[in-house]
Structure formats: structure tokens, C-alpha cells
């Protein structure tokens, strides 16, 4: 049985550190996204939970697209055990989209592609989106879709532990912890 992303996909230490920045930055965008589009914010939550190892990788299928005007776009897809994070940078001179770059592509436990530079670019685009909203209330184009597949939910105790950890700035407990207790 596959558990969370961290125990399913075998990443090196450097790859794991680069990937951890993405859900952290998405978690900063998520609160103000709820005011813009509650449906997209709810769909984003499932994908963020998978990236933070709170939900198992097979808990659902979904995608998030965040477009920053004249900077670039970040696409995160996870469908049927395949995970893809793709970055489409824009030209600084013309603002036109350049060729897409795959930051990470996994299939099951295999890492098929990983580019630290593209991962850094994705983090910078997400930070730019957050800063533009904080300073100028600029709203980017955010689209998300989520289909729940997991019929097993964490107990109230684990949800409370997760929320307390997030408020304190710590990593929340992983999916394998609350799932092992319920089995």
C-alpha cells in the first residue's frame, strides 16, 4: 500500500529540500485565495495536503495552475500516481510564454525528471504572486481541480495536531501516522 508522497517517491536529500519549498509557499497563498475563489481554494487544499505528506498520494487526483502576469506560470498535476510540476517562464522583454520546463516528474516511486533550477523558478513565481497580492492586492489567475478518492478521513485528534503544527510553523504529522492508527 502506498502512503504519503515522501514514502512513495524516492528523492535525494537535495531534491527533497527543493520540493519542500513549494507546499510552504502554496500554504501562504491559500488563505487569501479563499477570498477570491472558494471553490479553487478548496481544490487547492487537497493538492497542498498531498505535497505536505498529510494525505496519501492516492487520496485524490487534482491540479493547480497559478499564472503570474508577465512572469510565468506554475502547473502542479497529480493524477493516477503520476506527479508533474511544470514551470512556464515568460520573457522579461516581451512577456510571451517561453518553453515549459519540467521541475519534477514522477511515476509511482520512480523519479523520471528533476530540475533544481526549474524548481527554484517555480518557488520564485509563487513568491512573486504572494508578494504582489500582499503589497498591491493584485489577484493572479488561479485555477484548481480536485477529485477525492480516499474514503478514510483522519480523526479529530490528528486534524487538531495538524492545525497546531501549522500554526506553530512546524511540519504537520504525515499521512502514515494517522492511517496506521486507524488500521
Give the tens place of pLDDT for each residue, 149-164. 877 667 788 788 888 8
What's the pLDDT score for residue 114? 94
Q: Is 84 within a domain?
A: yes
Chain-centroid distance of CA 78 in Å reads: 10
Over range 110-137, report the average pLDDT: 91
pLDDT-derived band of residue 122, with 50, 70 and 90 as boundaries?
Answer: very high
What's the pLDDT score for residue 63? 93
Give pLDDT tens digits for 13-54. Answer: 888 888 888 988 898 888 888 777 888 888 888 888 888 888
Domain total for the chain? 1
Sheet containing 60-68: which strands, arranged edge to edge?
110-114, 101-107, 82-89, 72-79, 60-68, 141-148
Closest CA to 55 of 147, 126, 142, 143: 147
Query: Could you give the CA distance from residue 170 to residue 123 in angstroms, rounded to a whole number?
Result: 19
Q: Is 169 within a domain?
A: no
Q: Is 170 within a domain?
A: no
Query: Could you give the CA distance from residue 64 to residue 89 in angstroms, rounded to a whole number?
Result: 16
Indicate the pTM of the whole model. 0.83
Structural domain harbouring 56: 5-152
Residue 100 confidence (pLDDT) above 80: yes
Residue 1 confidence (pLDDT) above 50: no
How distant, in Å, are the alpha carbons of 26, 92, 121, 182 from that of 65? 11, 20, 15, 33
CB 34 within 8 A of CB 155: no
Q: Is 179 within a domain?
A: no
Q: Is 87 within a domain?
A: yes
Q: Is 78 within a domain?
A: yes
Give percent of the chain above pLDDT 90: 28
Give pLDDT tens digits for 51-83. Answer: 888 888 778 899 999 998 889 999 999 998 889
Amino acid at each position: 500500500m502506498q502512503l504519503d508522497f515522501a514514502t512513495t517517491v524516492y528523492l535525494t536529500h537535495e531534491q527533497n529540500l527543493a520540493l519542500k519549498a513549494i507546499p510552504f509557499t502554496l500554504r501562504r497563498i491559500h488563505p487569501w485565495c479563499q477570498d477570491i475563489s472558494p471553490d479553487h481554494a478548496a481544490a487547492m487544499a487537497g493538492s497542498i495536503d498531498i505535497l505536505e505528506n498529510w494525505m496519501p498520494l492516492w487520496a485524490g487526483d487534482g491540479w493547480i495552475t497559478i499564472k503570474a502576469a508577465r512572469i510565468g506560470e506554475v502547473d502542479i498535476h497529480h493524477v493516477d500516481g503520476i506527479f508533474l510540476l511544470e514551470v512556464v517562464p515568460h520573457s522579461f522583454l516581451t512577456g510571451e510564454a517561453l518553453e515549459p520546463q519540467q521541475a519534477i516528474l514522477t511515476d509511482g516511486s520512480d523519479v523520471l525528471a528533476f530540475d533544481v533550477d526549474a524548481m527554484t523558478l517555480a518557488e520564485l513565481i509563487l513568491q512573486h504572486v504572494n508578494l504582489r497580492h500582499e503589497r498591491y492586492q493584485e489577484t493572479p489567475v488561479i485555477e484548481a481541480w480536485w477529485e477525492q478518492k480516499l474514503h478514510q478521513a483522519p480523526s479529530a485528534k490528528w486534524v487538531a495536531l495538524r492545525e497546531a503544527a501549522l500554526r506553530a510553523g512546524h511540519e504537520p504529522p504525515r499521512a502514515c501516522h494517522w492511517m496506521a492508527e486507524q488500521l
